[in-house]
Amino acid sequence: MKHLKKNSVNSSYLPLERRLFICFLIAAAPFFTGCEKYLDLINPNEERPAVSTINTYEAEQAVLHGAVIASNQAGYTGTGYADYVNATGDYIEWTVNAASSGSFLLQFRYANAGTTNRPLKLQVNGVTIATSQAFVPTGSWTNWLLSSAAANLNSGANKIRLTTIGSNGPNVDKLIYSTSIKHRLYMVDNGFSKLLYLNQMDPSKNWTVAIPSGSRDLQLVANNKILVSHGNGAAEYDRTTGAKGWSISTYTGVSTAQRLANGNTMIGWSKPASGSTPAKVVLSEVNSAGTEVSKVTINNITTFRLARRLSNGHTLITGDTNNDMKYKVFEVDAKGAIVWQQLLYGGKGYVANRLANGDTRATMGPVGNLYQPGKDDNKLLQLSPGGTIVKYWGGMDKFPAADLKKFSGYSDVPGNGNIVIANWLGDGNIGTGPHAVEFDANNNLIWSWKNSTAAQTVTNVLVVE
């Protein structure tokens, strides 16, 4: 049992919780817009989902095995909180009654005054949702934060359990569940050859347009347009209507397109080795008239997907060398010479981006059709310049019930630090998992989207909110 816990006054969570509760109570009132404006004053950059249900279950009223009820730390709600005693096997189990089945956001209010993460196993109706749900340090035992996860609940009673797995665990105040996460995003589907706009705030504004085959990349560009790559080049589509605009179709084997700062468009394509001619990746820069103004060739790179031009004129790509299946991120200069490379630690690369602090983020997915533990994985890695893994999102061992198949493109969620990743369902996986998944900064899975009628194999996502 954790006896020595310091006291301090929590100054942030409860006021925000009261505001959210007030907004929930008046959600059906004619002046709900005023509540939304009030939320804008709290954080003008945060996503503003339509709150449909918010339900709270106190930990001290749950079934406790090993854990005990305590109340000696300030800031809890209800009559107390649950305090884990044993490092392994203690659990808190709530019975949650859902009015209907569907995807829900689970949030656990907790405090952790330790200096390290105290993860717990999360199970819903006996199914492991996360083998290691993160409960990172909160600074003190009276500073309460939220750990979030997405899970499907059945209509009626559901058992939600948090179990210690080797550490003493945090103090847990309560479970909050809701269906409040909604997004506005674009998706490229190379199975149905479609560009989709999904507006979960207002589904009447959803649209889908046909695009050429081989589409993988997308980017928000000027004049309210979306740039999408296809097998022979790229095209622009109106963000609001999906109407097609500028396009180029003079290449073959294209897998990436990016609008550059100078207004030109980089088209990335590849050719396999043939006889004595090595495999090559070619990055062609074309102007608005479709004229090629420059070209960079990188020899001996195979399994090429997306490319991202850096501010220093270099380009990040992913691939392997002459099909050696040692997948890496490569940084190449303006002449095509490799100036930096880093192994992707057992996964097939898709896209890499350079952060302002010099770190590199890169998605990777399993090499073959079947996941092989210890050999490959589904992760978005953040790598230091020296190649150390700073952090990661995803992981099939961590989320065994999430149906993660192959990570491809990803998008930051504006304003909140979350990341949405495309979960490509090709290679025999059509219909077997979600098309997109969202993780928060602590690698908690908090949202997913699956609609096998609307999409088949989503390769990339762009969250615009």
- pLDDT tens digits for 124-162? 999 999 999 999 999 999 999 999 898 889 999 999 999
User: Which listed CATH number (2.60.120.260, 1.10.3720.10, 3.40.1280.10, 3.30.1450.10) goes with 13-178?
Assistant: 2.60.120.260
Q: What is the pLDDT of residue 111?
A: 97
Decide yes or no: CATH 3.40.50.410 for domain 184-463: no
- Top pLDDT among 111 and 49 is at 111
CB 247 within 8 A of CB 235: yes
Is residue 278 exposed (0-12), middle (13-18) or buried (19+ Cβ within 10 Å)? middle
- Cβ neighbours around 44 below 10 Å, total: 9
Summarize the confidence of residues 417-444 as an average pLDDT: 93
pLDDT tier at 34 (50, 70, 90 boundaries)? very low
Entry field: residues in the chain: 465
Given the structure tokens 């301090």, which residue do they identify?
Answer: 8
Residue 150's DSSP bridge partners are 105
Report the sign of the C-alpha dihedral through residues 172, 173, 178, 184, in that order.
negative
Q: Say yes or no to pLDDT of 2 above 70.
A: no
Q: Say yes or no to pLDDT of 374 above 80.
A: no
Structure tokens at 142: 């009276």
Domain boundaries, the chain: 13-178, 184-463
Q: Say yes or no to pLDDT of 191 above 50.
A: yes
Residue 393's DSSP bridge partners are 380
Average pLDDT, the chain: 87
Q: What is the pLDDT of residue 25?
A: 36
pLDDT tier at 21 (50, 70, 90 boundaries)? very low
Please choose, from the candidates 329, 3, 18, the residue with its C-alpha nearest in 3D space to the C-alpha of residue 168.
Answer: 3
- Top pLDDT among 315 and 18 is at 315
Summarize the confidence of residues 362-379 as an average pLDDT: 77
Q: What is the pLDDT of residue 14?
A: 35
Summarize the confidence of residues 339-346 as an average pLDDT: 91
Annotate 426-456 with b (16+ C-beta within 10 A) or e (fewer). Answer: beebeeebbbbbbbbebbbbbbbbbeeebbb
Summarize the confidence of residues 402-407 as an average pLDDT: 92
Q: Say yes or no to pLDDT of 178 above 90.
A: no
Q: What is the pLDDT of residue 101?
A: 85
Which tens digits make up the pLDDT trace of 215-273?
Answer: 999 999 999 999 999 999 999 999 999 999 999 999 999 999 999 999 999 999 999 99
Structure tokens at 286: 């074309």
Structure tokens at 190: 């190379």
CB 243 within 8 A of CB 229: no
Q: Say yes or no to pLDDT of 50 above 60.
A: no
Summarize the confidence of residues 339-362 as an average pLDDT: 94
pLDDT tier at 6 (50, 70, 90 boundaries)? very low
CB 294 within 8 A of CB 309: no
